[in-house]
Structure 1
Amino acid sequence: MQEKDRGSLRGEGWEEIWIEIISVKATIPLVMGANIGTSITNTIVSLAQAGDRNEFRRAFAAATILDMFNWLTVLILLPLEAASGYLYRLTGAIMDGISGNTKFDRIELLQVITRPFTDLIIELDSECLKKIANGDDVESLVKRWCEKTLPVNGSHGFFTPDPSQLLDAHNMSMGECSINTELGVNASSTEKQIIGNLTKDWKKCHHVFANSSLNDTLIGVILLVISLVVLCFCLISIVKILHTVMKGNTAKIIKKMVNAKLPSPFGFLTGYLAILVGTALTFLVQSSSIFTSTLTPLVGVGVISLKRMYPLTLGANIGTTFTAVMAAMTSSGESLKLALRIAFCHLFFNVSGILIWYPIPYLRKVPIGLSKSLGNTTAKYRWFAIVYLITMFLLLPGLVFVVSLGGWPAWVGVFGPIGLVLIFVIIMNILQKKLPSYLPEKLRTWDFLPLWMHSLEPYDRPMTAIGRWFGKLKRCSFSKEKNNTLTPQTNFAMKSSMESIP
């Protein structure tokens, strides 16, 4: 791998850690996958409104509209990229006109508020992350020493380099990224004494796990559980607050303002203005997940329409790319050009998707229509939301990865027939809905197939039983209360309500 063809990876919320271990071409599919993966947050957020079928229908449709946009864009741009190197060539041409001698200071917005709190919980050693990426053995990612002093001729000089540099100065070699009180177990008594003298004036970090002897796996599990509990609490609180506030005239006024259009003759620009608003707000919070997860319950309670949610979501997709661009600009030299190139790949992937799925009204209806269909399905079979999460974000990516190991022959052999079946189903659905008279009477519906092949009804009873057995969502998702029981009349009303969303 040539040095000039290496790229850098950056995730939302991480320290700016440029890891030159992967080619730019190989990074582009990873960027596409990251775009899909980040939308899982919205889907999880929508589950907080599963107690009310109508709200859940709208919330789940709002959550999955980003999924549909991302998947549809990947289905078009991934083959295009493989065949022509569209994003690779485009960003390469842009980078040819940029000098690598410039370096910018990193801009922090929301992090200025959140970082002091997160640093009280956990701090990670960025040097460890780099070493892990390079395949080096690392004992712990947790940063325990925040201030280190080195005795020099009887004085102490303040410094914050990799501790291995300090140990090398004393003819010692340590493989760990950071020294803690547990280090030196296998060292000689002389080495232990040197380590003790070196660290006696060092200052420990102040986060919760600074003095903990727990390993990284245990710390990670603890933080994950706490995060999920806090997330669930926040989601439930948001929904309850919205139910309390969004009532009567207040809800009507807010709904009218949020879903208003620009005056004639500029009404057609309303959606594009919403894209700009979504971009700006996401840039401020520097996370598309935060912004879209906030919108999801608002759509659920009916304050924001699904059609207005769509351009706001597209704007969020653009806004989140600016985070990577800003982080890339803090590098210098060749690293700046490499980091910017990956960031621009992310940017132009989303811009290209918007140009495909938004300006043309007919194509705009495709992701919206798919999300509406998922919303209606989930309102009727609420267990489908869990199946959707597992399938779209675990099983399907896993299948694609496994098949890709076999190369193009395996790819064509597995997904070729699946693609042909999907194309046939799509064409048949369009003909059944738009031109049923052109089809033989038997093909005007899917009733000629076994029920399990065209309906979720056969799966409803066992899935409901499994849900009750686990005791999850017993009151909201699987209850048989009269006010939540779907009759043909309520199902028709729900469908009509979804189709009438402006």
Structure 2
Amino acid sequence: MKRISQVLPQGQIWKFMGLLLALLIFFTSLELLGDAFELMGEDAAEFLLATTANPIAGVFVGILATTLVQSSSTSTSLTVALVASGTLGVAGAIPIMLGANIGTSVTNTIVALGHFHNRDEFRKAFTGALVLDFFNIIAVAIFLPLELFFNVLSWPATQVTNLIVGIGAIELFSPIDVVVEPLAGLIVGLTQETGWLVLIIAFALLYFALRSLVKLLKALLNEDLEGKIKKYLFGSWWQAMLFGLLITIAVQSSSITTSVIIPLIALAVVAALQALPYFLGANIGTSTTALIAALSLAGNGDAEGIASLLVALVHMVFDILAIALLFPLKKVREIPVWLAQKSVSWITANRITAIAYIAALFYLLPFGAAWLTNDWDIATFYEPTVPEQIQGEVVTDLEDAQDRDLTDITDPDSTPQE
């Protein structure tokens, strides 16, 4: 308390403590949101991941599965586990990992809804969320064809796989999970694991936490504090990117890392363009979860385990190459911001259009597109680059995958949630 009093005036210490409590409630609501969608959608997500027929459908399946479980960490780790079990092949898994990158930004967009009470904040918050949406969509639109025809993702991932096969399992400690998971587990237990009830509680807590966060931030923020945030966290693109990367690795959740910045964007402390490199750092950070799971599964050196490591590395390579291609040039990195600013007016015209946008982009469109494209016979030409020791030894198409047993799939509950 003494150290806090040296930074904050005595009258603001309790506001700071209230901010910490609001953050705890906020993190708990995000955990509950993921738990609720897992309770309602885990089986559906597992089925979707195991039955993708072609790369185009695979991307939409990745989006839908991620939004169903509200966690790209869960969906990508489950994808890795499906590959390791021999249920899903490398060719089917790679597009799913790309789709998961789009689906992961759904939490950001839901959090932005919490600012609907103030139209100006609502517009700014949604602009920040849309920037990540558009960046990920553009990146997938570019790299999916490049991978299908030229293996620009699977080739470098294969080279890295050859270097690190046999490292074995690594586990990361998440300090937030130590506090948040027991609280969320207690609430889920009290609801008797009723998904819809957990969802209602999650949204109620999320709304309360966001309102409290905004009020307390307004009360605490002054020119000096805002200046320090801009200087030390968002002073340059590399500072923001490194901050987003390290925080995501530490808490093993890009949903927490990116969503917590939305109120700062809403309050105009951070601009959407300033937040973009922070979001991109979080994108790389979240790919470490699937990589950790794959390192564990690849520890015995069998073909399926090595394939799962390859798929996890493709996810990381994709995030790194997307940044390398789309971020360095100013005109290019401004495209997602420009699209967000052009779209935000009609999306935030009222709460109904904002909710409709979330429902359409993250649920209805992926479901419809996956269903419509699932019968397209476009998968036969795609052969990703794979390490020599697994060539011809892993599942590569849907017909083989459907013959496999799903009972040995790793439990996604054992993986960190995003």
The alignment's TM-score, normalised by the length of structure 1, stands at: 0.55
CA displacement, residues 453-502 of structure 1 (integer Å, 9 cap, x when unaligned): xxxxxxxxxxxxxxxxxxxxxxxxxxxxxxxxxxxxxxxxxxxxxxxxxx
- 1:112 equivalent to 2:178? Answer yes
Q: Post-superposition shift, 1:16?
A: 7.0
Q: Post-superposition shift, 1:14?
A: 8.7
CA distance in 2, matches of 1:85, 1:105: 28
| Counterpart residue type for residue 109 of structure 2 | T
Q: How do 1:427-438 and structure 2 match up within 5 A?
A: none
Q: Kindly indicate whether structure 1 or structure 2 has the higher relative contact order, using CA contacts under 8 Å at least 6 residues apart.
A: 2
CA displacement, residues 253-308 of structure 1 (integer Å, 9 cap, x when unaligned): 2332333389xxxx9x9212211111011111111111111001110011112221
Q: Percent of aligned positions with the same letter in both sequences? A: 32
Corresponding residue number in structure 2 for 1:93: 159
Q: How do 1:271-286 and structure 2 match up within 5 A?
A: 271-286=237-252
Instruction: Report the 3-state secondary structure (helix = DSSP H, G, I; strand = E; otherwise coil) of the residue aligned with 2:172.
Output: coil
CA distance in 2, matches of 1:379, 1:393: 17
CA displacement, residues 333-382 of structure 1 (integer Å, 9 cap, x when unaligned): 13653332222111111112111221011101101111112233345455
CA distance in 1, matches of 2:202, 2:311: 30
Choose the corresponding residue for 1:235, options 207, 210, 234: 210
- 1:361 equivalent to 2:330? Answer yes
CA distance in 2, matches of 1:15, 1:358: 24
Q: How do 1:179-258 and structure 2 match up within 5 A?
A: 208=190, 219-246=194-221, 250=222, 252-258=223-229
Corresponding residue number in structure 1 for 2:24: none
Q: Is the 8 A contact 1:68 1:367 kept in 2?
A: yes
CA distance in 2, matches of 1:36, 1:389: 12
Corresponding residue number in structure 2 for 1:338: 307
Corresponding residue number in structure 2 for 1:314: 280
Q: Is the 8 A contact 2:284 2:316 kept in 1?
A: yes
CA distance in 2, matches of 1:368, 1:15: 27
- 1:305 equivalent to 2:275? Answer no
Taking structure 1 as reference, are residues 336 and 40 closer, same or farther at Cα in structure 2, changes over 3 Å only? same
CA displacement, residues 179-211 of structure 1 (integer Å, 9 cap, x when unaligned): xxxxxxxxxxxxxxxxxxxxxxxxxxxx557xx
Q: Post-superposition shift, 1:112?
A: 3.0
Q: Post-superposition shift, 1:64?
A: 0.9
- 1:259 equivalent to 2:324? Answer no
CA displacement, residues 66-97 of structure 1 (integer Å, 9 cap, x when unaligned): 10011001111111222223222322232223
Corresponding residue number in structure 1 for 2:290: 324
| Counterpart residue type for residue 173 of structure 2 | E
Choose the corresponding residue for 2:113, options 47, 59, 65: 47
| Counterpart residue type for residue 230 of structure 2 | N
Q: Is the 8 A contact 2:108 2:255 kept in 1?
A: yes
Taking structure 1 as reference, are residues 239 and 371 closer, same or farther at Cα in structure 2, changes over 3 Å only? same
CA distance in 1, matches of 2:74, 2:208: 21
Taking structure 1 as reference, are residues 11 and 40 closer, same or farther at Cα in structure 2, changes over 3 Å only? closer
Aligned residues: 301
| Counterpart residue type for residue 233 of structure 1 | F
Q: Post-superposition shift, 1:116?
A: 3.4
- 1:397 equivalent to 2:363? Answer no
CA distance in 1, matches of 2:337, 2:345: 12
Instruction: Report the 3-state secondary structure (helix = DSSP H, G, I; strand = E; otherwise coil) of the residue aligned with 1:253.
Output: helix
Corresponding residue number in structure 1 for 2:343: 374
CA distance in 2, matches of 1:380, 1:273: 34
Corresponding residue number in structure 2 for 1:76: 142
CA distance in 2, matches of 1:394, 1:103: 36
- 1:61 equivalent to 2:127? Answer yes
Q: Is the 8 A contact 1:25 1:88 kept in 2?
A: no
CA distance in 1, matches of 2:180, 2:115: 27
Q: Post-superposition shift, 1:227?
A: 2.3
Q: Post-superposition shift, 1:327?
A: 2.8
CA displacement, residues 406-439 of structure 1 (integer Å, 9 cap, x when unaligned): 4169xxxxxxxxxxxxxxxxxxxxxxxxxxxxxx
Taking structure 1 as reference, are residues 61 and 390 closer, same or farther at Cα in structure 2, changes over 3 Å only? same
Corresponding residue number in structure 2 for 1:144: none
- 1:22 equivalent to 2:88? Answer yes
CA distance in 1, matches of 2:149, 2:119: 44
Taking structure 1 as reference, are residues 108 and 327 closer, same or farther at Cα in structure 2, changes over 3 Å only? farther
CA distance in 2, matches of 1:260, 1:232: 30
Greater per-residue helix proportion: 2
Taking structure 1 as reference, are residues 364 and 15 closer, same or farther at Cα in structure 2, changes over 3 Å only? closer
Taking structure 1 as reference, are residues 406 and 116 closer, same or farther at Cα in structure 2, changes over 3 Å only? closer
CA distance in 2, matches of 1:314, 1:29: 19
Q: Post-superposition shift, 1:45?
A: 0.8
CA distance in 2, matches of 1:208, 1:394: 29
Q: Is the 8 A contact 1:36 1:67 kept in 2?
A: yes
RMSD between aligned alpha carbons?
2.9
CA distance in 2, matches of 1:29, 1:16: 14
Q: How do 1:440-459 and structure 2 match up within 5 A?
A: none
Corresponding residue number in structure 2 for 1:12: 73
Q: Post-superposition shift, 1:113?
A: 3.1
Instruction: Report the 3-state secondary structure (helix = DSSP H, G, I; strand = E; otherwise coil) of the residue aligned with 1:51.
Output: coil
CA distance in 2, matches of 1:81, 1:14: 21
Taking structure 1 as reference, are residues 98 and 68 closer, same or farther at Cα in structure 2, changes over 3 Å only? same
The alignment's TM-score, normalised by the length of structure 2, stands at: 0.65
